[in-house]
Amino acid sequence: MTRIPPQLVTGAAMDVRVPVRRGRQAVRAAALLAAVALAAFAAWQAIPHGLQVAARDVRIARVTPGVFRDEIVVRASAEPFSAVVLDSVESGRVEEVVAHDGQRVAKGDLLFRLSNPQRNLELLARQTEYAQQISNLANLRVAQQASRTDHQRRQADLEYALALARKQHARNASLAARGFLSAAALEDSADRLAQQRRLLDDERRAAAAEEQVRRRVLQQIEGVIAGLQAGLKLVNATVDALAVRAPAAGVLTDFRLLVGETVHPDQRIGRIDDPRRFKLVAPIDEFYLGRVKAGLPGRVDQDGTTYPLRVATIYPQVKDGRFTAEMTFTDGQPPVISPGQGLDARLTLGEPAQALLLPQGTFANDGGGAWVFVVAQDGRHAVRRAVRLGRRNDTQVEVLSGLAAGEAVIVSGYTAFGKAERLELTK
């Protein structure tokens, strides 16, 4: 049997222990590297990677399936269906106020009275001028009648003279035929007869010409008098306008004149409202501008009673993100309603339908309906995601795509987030 030297045994044992020691060191190094990597990952996770937002400052809601009611509720104010504006036609000082704001007035009732000395002076001057022209017309007619009478008298004298000349000429012609009168005498008689005819014709022509002149003058003066009379009526109307009366029956509104106050032309004094019919005027979010049309049905619920209405007029001008719609009642109106009273009007835009829903919030406007912030399952962060939102009402927003039922979404405003793509929700 061969003996192994002790040196060789010791060396072999040492060769076995070296690889074992090196393996243990590698395991410890790998474990150390893994621990360092895990710590680094945890540290990386602890470092915020998005805009930090306090969770208490946002409102979170979950996407839920349900029935979308295609209607909106708008806050409308009641206004009279018809009203008459009271503008001052004349200027003056308020001498008397008969009516008061909120009073029911009938057509023609005296509201207030003004004083204007200038108008009174104008009326006096017009009356004097009118009376003067009337006197002138009367004097002209008297003079024309006297002239007409004089012409008639002269014409009668000339007709009488012509008749005498005609008779005399007839006698002279008979005498000349029997030889008792010379031819010269007969010729003189014929000349006198012709002269009388000419004088009568001239008188008649002069009378006719003068009559035409008289008629033209009378027409001109009568025209002047008619103009003066119209002007006098106008001045009378302006003086009468100093006593302001109700142009229609109704309720006097925004009427606050005081005695001694000076009123100027075209000054708004108030209005008279028709208390029997009212309309509703509502500002509506511009999002619904394409869907709210004239004729759209709606309703108002008050004291357990429903009053149907319809959209009558749309004013498409957008101001501060809203446009205006006027609505009228179609089958009666609330028994107690006053100008300026606020009412909730519900407008029906379409039929109810099944849909994924989010609660209404400013997020829909801030994101333009194209994106939302979706909250992760751990609730520690939210990521911006492209979506497509559809119809809205006063409490619901329809989700068309990009979200699933049960997902959590930030439904409060996004304005403060700027262009952030990720939000870190802190406690």
Name the one residue in this structure whose structure tokens are 């979404």.
409
**Band (279; pLDDT cuts 50, 70, 90):** very high
Does this model's pTM top 0.85? My answer is no
381-406 pLDDT per residue, tens = 999 999 999 888 888 899 999 999 99
Across the range 220-244, mean pLDDT stands at: 74
**273 — pLDDT class (breaks 50, 70, 90):** confident
Let me know: does 326 contact 306? Beta carbons within 8 Å.
no
The reported pLDDT for the residue numbered 12 is 45
pLDDT of 350 above 90: no
Q: Look at residue 235 in the predicted model and tell me its pLDDT.
A: 64
Q: What is the pLDDT of residue 22?
A: 61
- For residue 281, which phi and psi values (nearest 5 degrees)? -120, 125
Asked if residue 20 has pLDDT above 60, the reply is: no
- Between 32-41, 189-198, 234-243, the lowest mean confidence (pLDDT) is in 32-41
Residue 268 — very low, low, confident or very high, per pLDDT cuts 50/70/90? confident
Question: What pLDDT, in 10s, does the model give residues 283-315?
Answer: 998 988 988 999 999 999 888 899 999 999 999
Q: Which of 4-8, 58-62, 157-161, 177-181 has the highest mean pLDDT?
A: 58-62
With tokens 């009376």, the residue in question is 131
Q: What is the pLDDT of residue 376?
A: 93
Separation between Cα atoms, residue 235 and residue 240, nearest integer Å: 8
* Average pLDDT of every residue of the chain: 83
Two structure tokens written together for 398: 């329809």
pLDDT of residue 315: 93
**DSSP 3-state of 65:** strand
Contacting residues for 361 by C-beta, under 8 A, at least 6 apart = 59, 61, 397, 411, 412, 413
The pLDDT value recorded for residue 44 is: 45
Predicted confidence (pLDDT) at residue 26 exceeds the cutoff of 80: no
Question: In this predicted model, what pLDDT tens digit does every residue of 87-108 receive, in sequence order?
Answer: 877 788 888 888 888 888 999 8
Residue 39's pLDDT is: 59
Lookup: tokens for 51: 């805009």
Q: Express each pLDDT in 166-210 by its tens digit.
A: 898 888 888 888 888 888 888 888 888 898 889 888 888 888 888
Quote the CA–CA distance of 382 and 60 in Å, as a whole number.
10
Task: Quote the pLDDT of residue 9.
Answer: 45
pLDDT reading at 48 higher than 60: no
Listed in order, strand segments (DSSP E) in 274-304 are 278-285, 297-302
User: Distances in Å between the alpha carbon of 25 and those of 16, 38, 264, 400?
Assistant: 15, 20, 106, 59
In terms of average pLDDT, the best of 125-129, 217-221, 414-418 is: 414-418
Q: Are 59 and 410 in contact (CB under 8 A)?
A: yes
